[in-house]
Amino acid sequence: MAHFAKLDANNVVTEVIVVSNAVIENLPFPESEPLGVAFCQSLYGADTVWKQTSYNANFRGVYAGIGFVFDETNDFFVSPFVENGLITENNVVAPVIPAVISPEELP
């Protein structure tokens, strides 16, 4: 399954939906994204904006949730908790992408 986040005009996530792997033709990210976006737009309207998000945080920082902000510059989602970024003295986000852990490493 793939997950897509719907963004409003301020790049705030308003909804996250699940899309079948068949829709994205089992392609990996980022090749999967245009297919998924086209599917989402067919459901919600051609003027809607979508970004793919990873449930396992394999890309774009963290799994997007409602209220998260999509940072276009850094191409990742920022949570209200700033889970994926540290704040430096210059108020710049330094992305810290959670390491992907293998199933045998899980608790």
Considering only residues 4-33, where is the footprint of another protein by CB under 8 A?
Answer: 10
Alpha helical stretches, state H, 1-107: 32-44
Using CA atoms, how far apart are residues 36 and 34, in angstroms rounded to an integer? 5
Of residues 103, 102, 101, 99, the one with CA closest to residue 84: 99
The tokens describing 94, both together, are: 């330094």
Radius of gyration of the chain (CA): 14
CB 20 within 8 A of CB 1: yes
Only one of the segments 21-29, 30-38, 42-50, 98-106 lies at the binding site for another protein (rule: CB under 8 A); that segment is 98-106
Determine the size of the site formed for another protein (CB under 8 A): 27
**Of residues 37, 63, 64, 76, which one binds another protein by CB under 8 A?**
63
Is position 85 an interface residue for another protein (rule: CB under 8 A)?
Answer: yes
Is position 107 an interface residue for another protein (rule: CB under 8 A)?
Answer: yes
Is position 59 an interface residue for another protein (rule: CB under 8 A)?
Answer: no
Please give the residue ranges that form the binding site for another protein (CB under 8 A).
Answer: 10, 56-57, 62-63, 67, 69, 71, 78-83, 85-87, 89, 91-93, 98-99, 101, 105-107
